[in-house]
Structure 1
Amino acid sequence: MLTVWGRPNSINVQIVMWTAAELELETDRKDVGGAFGGLDTPDYRAMNPNGRIPTVQDGDLTIWESNACARYLAARYGAGSLWPEDPAERATADMWMDWKKTSLMGPMTTVFWGLVRTPEADRDDAAITAAADSARTLYAMLDEWLAGKDYLLGDRLTIGDIPAGAMCYRFMNLVQDRPSMPNLEAWYERLSSRPAYRDHVMLPIT
């Protein structure tokens, strides 16, 4: 059984839990981080010296960083399905996974913290507006990529869909006045039909 350390409303934990659920892996998730605390304890820092979530234990192996955890699970338990065996396909999946971290995470974090975690009277509306504009532009790029595809790599879900797909739930719920993105919207509907996505990503945004 996998042990996953991290609270369920963390998008980085959601990436790992969604991946594990798609692979039908039994998991024991333990609440740490945020209101639960526990990240600065000696025991947790011994597992994850970075002191963040998620952390995954699989037997004697302990790993952290959400994309690394998801890649490991897909490679070990989902070769040929979530984990593309072709190096070119895997590079494409990696590209979109890293795009979520390096490009999408910044503006969407500003939107999330501004609209969800900050009292209305204290919000920086200009920063939120600019970040939402950036998120629209980035997801419009993904909309173009998805033309003619069911998923990012073609006709099946892979690890490449999971980070941007997890963030898409927040984008659809927090960013208003979106331009028409028919390919993105169809992709989001496909994700929303998957029980693992509904169970681990489509949660209250808090």
Structure 2
Amino acid sequence: MLTIWGRENSTNVKKVLWCAAELDLAFNLIQAGGQYGKIKEPLFLSLNPNGLVPCMQDDENDLVLWESNTIVRYIAARFGQDTWLLNDAATRAQSEKWMDWTLSSLAPALTPVFINLVRTPAKLRDSAAVAAGIEACERLLDIAETALEKKSWFSGNDFGIGDISMGCLAYNWFSLAIERKPRGRFQEWYDGVSSRTAFKTRVMLPLS
């Protein structure tokens, strides 16, 4: 059995829990981070010296991993070969491209919007940072919209790990009280993602 450390409403932890739920995996969840603490304690730091969640232990392989996208890749490769065809280089690269893009491009653009509107009292919010972040997200989501002209999923012809990273950020984007540019293909993709049982149970939690 896997052990996953992290608070359930963390965006990065959601990726891992959603992936595990899609594959119907049994795992032990240890709530950590945020109000749960633990991440600065010696035991946790011995597993992840960065003091961040998520962190995963796979005792059967004597393995400890951190970094959410890496954990998702590992879970998919170990338990989802038949589901997500990760032994096919082209299929895997298609998914991983979007995983890396969400981490390097979309997440940095969305973070100041999320932090200000969700975690910051109204009188202390940086409205300029919010506006700039929304503008950056809109430009990036135009790229995502165009990509969906060719494939129904960010992982290719079928749902896969590329959709997990994008889906967690998309949930945040659609949950924020902001005006958004309408995008037909992106909305259709999100409707498909948000109808999945594992998404409903592991991602559609109150923003925090």
Shorter-chain TM band: over 0.9
Unaligned runs of 5+ in 1: none
Instruction: Work out the CA distance in 1 between the residues paired with 2:143 and 2:177.
Output: 16
Deviation at 1:183, TM superposition (A): 0.6
Deviation at 1:154, TM superposition (A): 3.1
Instruction: Work out the CA distance in 2 between the residues paired with 1:8 and 1:111.
Output: 21
- Give TM-score, length-normalised by structure 2: 0.95
Percent identity between the aligned chains? 41
Instruction: Name which of 169, 172, 182 aligns with 1:170.
Output: 172
Deviation at 1:106, TM superposition (A): 0.7
Deviation at 1:149, TM superposition (A): 2.7
Instruction: Work out the CA distance in 2 between the residues paired with 1:166 and 1:82.
Output: 18
Unaligned runs of 5+ in 2: none
- Give TM-score, length-normalised by structure 1: 0.96
Instruction: Work out the CA distance in 1 between the residues paired with 2:104 and 2:156.
Output: 23
Instruction: Work out the CA distance in 2 between the residues paired with 1:165 and 1:82.
Output: 16
Instruction: Work out the CA distance in 1 between the residues paired with 2:86 and 2:153.
Output: 13
Map 1:49-198; keep pairs closer than 5 Å: 49-59=49-59, 60-174=62-176, 176-198=178-200
| Residue number in structure 2 paired with 1:27 | 27
Q: Deviations over 1:124-148 (max 9, x none)?
A: 0011111011111111210110114
Aligned residue type for 1:53: V
Deviation at 1:175, TM superposition (A): 5.9
- Contact kept in structure 1, 2:6 and 2:29, CA below 8 Å: yes
Deviation at 1:83, TM superposition (A): 4.5
Aligned residue type for 1:163: S
Q: Deviations over 1:149-186 (max 9, x none)?
A: 32113331111111111100011111622222111000
Aligned residue type for 1:134: A
- Contact kept in structure 2, 1:74 and 1:83, CA below 8 Å: no
Q: Which runs of 4+ in 1 moved over 3 A?
A: none
Aligned residue type for 2:167: G
| Residue number in structure 2 paired with 1:47 | 47
- Contact kept in structure 1, 2:95 and 2:156, CA below 8 Å: no
Aligned residue type for 2:165: P
Instruction: Work out the CA distance in 2 between the residues paired with 1:177 and 1:122.
Output: 21
Deviation at 1:196, TM superposition (A): 0.5
